[in-house]
Structure 1
């Protein structure tokens, strides 16, 4: 569809499409597999909206931009999409990129429904323009810390790369564990090799190593080194950010990639809607959908409901966030204000700690839920 939307996202009555800007990491160094799943969910949602007549007879259209995990590229995309007249923004997976996009959207007065990024401070100041489906990092990573404590781990090492996201995660873990008698040792992966990591783990008598690093490098070499070191036979390897969710992890590591707990945002049992969407996404992707694909679908479900109820005017979309009450694939979605969170937040996002079953790496085990 090539009909241009009005520059300010205002209502049109000529049957032209309502455009939604979609920010997705589709090329390296972005996490391409996550971007592919997110886009699949967004596209399925749009297709289903249009199959039942669109928004008051107008088709919904995605205008897709690849962020490639680059905050500056994302900011430029937000500027471009605003100029193209999109009614709202959707998507993004990488937290640092989403933060840049959210800040720009706030400055431009462009509604942004963030699908999958978790940094608590998604904007510098509280904003009415941005809402989020994924849980804030503080909540999810505290759930992960509770899992570690419940499994008997008190001496935790984190292999971390320089990043606001990883540094924030380390701080959340350290504070939550310290209050309950746990300790966190940080291993700086800008200075250490995978072999050095093994030595540090042995010297510190850590019982768990958390990978706060990129995938595949250096995550895959670290896992291989730790798995191959007899001194560390009993150590738990964890990846709270969710790397083992995707098939690329299993392909890269095989059996070594099993038994690595990570966070995902799914309920224990999918609703009938979730089950139907799971089937459709599986056919579209050619593999089991990750939680990120459901996030994409739910994003469109919310935006379609808002557009039907309040129209395509940007200000009215932003004003509608606190009135949203939509059944998504993972539960009833409603937005509220949460302490320390600068955007409208879905407070009921389900959180699980999951791993790949060592006896059957293609199957996931739920280890802890909140």
Structure 2
């Protein structure tokens, strides 16, 4: 059961008072990454259906109260305020790191448990908090693994095409520090000042062997890929997208063969267990295509929250106190939360990490290039 987005200020419906509500923050409209939001919501909704088929929580059904963030931090903050007034047991979701950071800070201030499904920015909150937990690995862990993959492939001179945002700046810093410590260099090209053609001119003089796309999708990522692929001066250049743009079907639909052989980060294990395989099959039917890792993150979010609510009750403070006691089998492995140095929220430290690309011979097929 889910409640669709509605105007802020909506009051509780007496007909659904028996349901146990969980707020869900999801980017469902532009400029949010809509396809990622659709996959995240599909995973959340499937898990809610499975929980309810199994009897709900102490006999009460779960209900999602969905709010569209549209990648807008202020809209997310207003949604968290509304969900707190609607007396949700917890808030879940969000894909965009900058939006999740605002939502996490607001949830912390309100004393509202927030389980972040898919945002990786290390500094998810300004201060350590007991109210927030996170499923995906922090950006520092994932992007260092990606840098190790590049270094292992022989890349020492790395170029970055970057948009302006806290997330991209953080990723650039992680890459630069990790690569520099191993004798490499990272050169940043500001896409606020360059066209794709001007970027190609700069790359032709740069000497870099790989260009990383730290930019929005589809703009300007798609035009950059097309420009680089068609520039004979850059015929030997590798493209990379650590943030995962090539994971989604829209990427392949827009770029075709040009979108293959562009390594990206994906948070899946080498092999799914029985639960993951069953969920994958259902999601494949629901989405009419291959589910992304984001859909599995959505499913695991509800799986964790349902376990916490069953074992610790629906009091918000008890939910927050339960994070360190979680031991739940999710679609991608056993989920436990701990305190990770430098991370202010409860973190699943064992989240799987892969570097993957689309096979040039069969762009609908993924190749696992590196695991961490």
Q: Report the Cα distance in structure 1 between the residues aligned to 2:311 and 2:143, rounded to whole angstroms.
A: 35
Q: Report the Cα distance in structure 2 between the residues aligned to 1:216 and 1:285, rounded to whole angstroms.
A: 20
Partner in structure 1 of residue 267 of structure 2: 265
Q: Report the Cα distance in structure 2 between the residues aligned to 1:228 and 1:161, rounded to whole angstroms.
A: 22
Q: CA deviation at 1:278?
A: 0.2
Q: Give 2:106's match in structure 1, choosing from 95, 104, 107.
A: 104
Q: Give 1:125's match in structure 2, choosing from 124, 127, 151.
A: 127
Q: Give 1:88's match in structure 2, choosing from 90, 98, 104.
A: 90
Retained in 2: the 8 A contact 1:264–1:291? yes
Provide the TM-score with structure 2 as the length reference.
0.96
Q: CA deviation at 1:2?
A: 11
Q: Report the Cα distance in structure 1 between the residues aligned to 2:228 and 2:208, rounded to whole angstroms.
A: 12
Partner in structure 2 of residue 11 of structure 1: none
Q: Report the Cα distance in structure 1 between the residues aligned to 2:203 and 2:63, rounded to whole angstroms.
A: 51
Retained in 2: the 8 A contact 1:15–1:58? no
SS of the aligned residue for 1:204 comes to coil
Q: CA deviation at 1:202?
A: 1.1
Retained in 1: the 8 A contact 2:2–2:66? no
Q: CA deviation at 1:15?
A: 7.8
Partner in structure 1 of residue 45 of structure 2: 43
Retained in 2: the 8 A contact 1:177–1:183? yes
Q: Report the Cα distance in structure 2 between the residues aligned to 1:304 and 1:87, rounded to whole angstroms.
A: 10
Deviations 1:87-111 (A, max 9, x none): 0000000000000000000000000
Q: Give 1:306's match in structure 2, choosing from 305, 308, 311.
A: 308
Q: How many residues align?
A: 360
Retained in 2: the 8 A contact 1:267–1:330? yes
Partner in structure 2 of residue 178 of structure 1: 180
Retained in 2: the 8 A contact 1:20–1:60? yes
Partner in structure 2 of residue 53 of structure 1: 55
Q: Report the Cα distance in structure 2 between the residues aligned to 1:95 and 1:334, rounded to whole angstroms.
A: 21
Q: CA deviation at 1:199?
A: 1.1
Structure 1 residue runs without a partner (length 5+): 4-13
Q: Report the Cα distance in structure 2 between the residues aligned to 1:182 and 1:253, rounded to whole angstroms.
A: 30
Partner in structure 2 of residue 206 of structure 1: 208
Relative to structure 1, is the Cα distance of residues 255 and 315 closer, same or farther in structure 2, using a 3 angstrom cutoff?
A: same
Deviations 1:120-158 (A, max 9, x none): 000000000000000000000000000000000000000
Deviations 1:281-312 (A, max 9, x none): 11111111000000000000000000000011
Q: CA deviation at 1:200?
A: 1.1
Partner in structure 1 of residue 9 of structure 2: none
Q: Where has structure 1 moved over 3 Å in runs of 4 or more?
A: none
Partner in structure 2 of residue 169 of structure 1: 171
Partner in structure 2 of residue 254 of structure 1: 256
Partner in structure 2 of residue 280 of structure 1: 282
Partner in structure 1 of residue 160 of structure 2: 158
Q: Report the Cα distance in structure 2 between the residues aligned to 1:249 and 1:206, rounded to whole angstroms.
A: 24
Provide the TM-score with structure 1 as the length reference.
0.96
Q: Report the Cα distance in structure 2 between the residues aligned to 1:2 and 1:234, rounded to whole angstroms.
A: 49
> How do residues 169-248 of structure 1 correspond to structure 2 at under 5 angstroms?
169-248=171-250
SS of the aligned residue for 1:205 comes to coil
Q: Give 1:297's match in structure 2, choosing from 296, 299, 302.
A: 299
Retained in 1: the 8 A contact 2:2–2:45? no
Retained in 2: the 8 A contact 1:15–1:57? no
Retained in 1: the 8 A contact 2:2–2:63? no
Deviations 1:209-230 (A, max 9, x none): 0000000110000000000001
